[in-house]
Amino acid sequence: MQPQPPLSYAHVILKLLRGAIYSDDSHWERLQSSLTQIKEYFGKIGLQVRNYETEGFAYLEQPDPDPEDRNEPLPRLTARHPLGFNITVLCVLLREQLRQFDASSDATGRLVLTIEKIRDLLQPYLPEGNNEERSRRKVDELVKQAMELGFLKRLSGQDENYEVRPILKAKVDADTLELLKQKLAAYANPPAD
């Protein structure tokens, strides 16, 4: 028995299993044209395709099991790990930058931040000290984590410039952003004794 040829959208399925797909990806158009079939395919195994066509990205999500469902819950495709304080701060700051960028009248294209701008944003939340090199390494480490999470992308040939990926809007919605901003404000400005 010969193996069946792969589905015409197999590349899209495999890419979604690896992470988000963006509108600048060569498979974006295939995702949009085969979206119904791809959603059905993943629906059979308990996954949902979150497609933000106007924002230019799509990703897979595994909903939490229904507590009322008596069936055995599906195993998690990927493990969930809570983010540490510093990377959470960076995500909130980047999400706020995206919100401001979207609200500006010239919000066309993508939001690009320099590493210096990211350092300036993080400075109030990092421990004070006189070791500038240690602080720079810490920010570089956080930027690397944000890239691994898919929230930042280093621009090709521009080591100092990073695109803030729009998937951050889906991962940190407006309500969550406001709640986290309030907590960060309280952390950055503790009440006087």
Strands 48-52, 57-61: pairing kind: antiparallel
Domain limits for position 55: 10-61
pTM of the model: 0.76
What integer pLDDT is reported at residue 171 of this predicted model? Answer: 81
Q: Are residues 38 and 108 in the same domain?
A: no
On whether residue 129 sits in a domain, the answer given is yes
Give Cα 158 to chain centroid, integer Å. Answer: 21
Q: Are residues 105 and 44 in the same domain?
A: no
**CATH code of the domain covering residue 113:** 1.10.10
Q: Cα(113)–Cα(152) distance, rounded to whole angstroms?
A: 10
Q: Cα(109)–Cα(164) distance, rounded to whole angstroms?
A: 11
Interhelix angle for 35-43 vs 10-18, to 10°? 60
On whether residue 169 sits in a domain, the answer given is yes
Q: Is the pLDDT of residue 154 over 60?
A: yes
Q: Which residues, in sequence order, are bridge partners of residue 99?
A: none
Q: Cα(63)–Cα(66) distance, rounded to whole angstroms?
A: 9
How many domains would you assign to the chain?
2
* Sequence-distant (≥ 6) Cβ neighbours of residue 146 within 8 angstroms: 87, 90, 91, 94, 152
CB crowding 135-158: b at 16 or more within 10 Å, else e: beebbeebbebbeebbbbbeeeee
Q: Are residues 184 and 89 in the same domain?
A: yes
On whether residue 158 sits in a domain, the answer given is yes
Q: Is the pLDDT of residue 32 over 80?
A: yes
What integer pLDDT is reported at residue 16 of this predicted model? Answer: 93
pLDDT tens digits along 89-132:
898 899 989 888 988 866 567 889 999 999 999 888 777 666 77
Q: Find out whether 92 and 180 touch, Cβ atoms under 8 Å.
A: yes
Which band of pLDDT confidence, cut at 50, 70 and 90, is reported for residue 192? low
The residue assigned the tokens 């069946």 is 4
Q: Cα(177)–Cα(172) distance, rounded to whole angstroms?
A: 6
Q: Are residues 90 and 169 in the same domain?
A: yes
Q: Cα(63)–Cα(159) distance, rounded to whole angstroms?
A: 36
What integer pLDDT is reported at residue 83 of this predicted model? Answer: 78
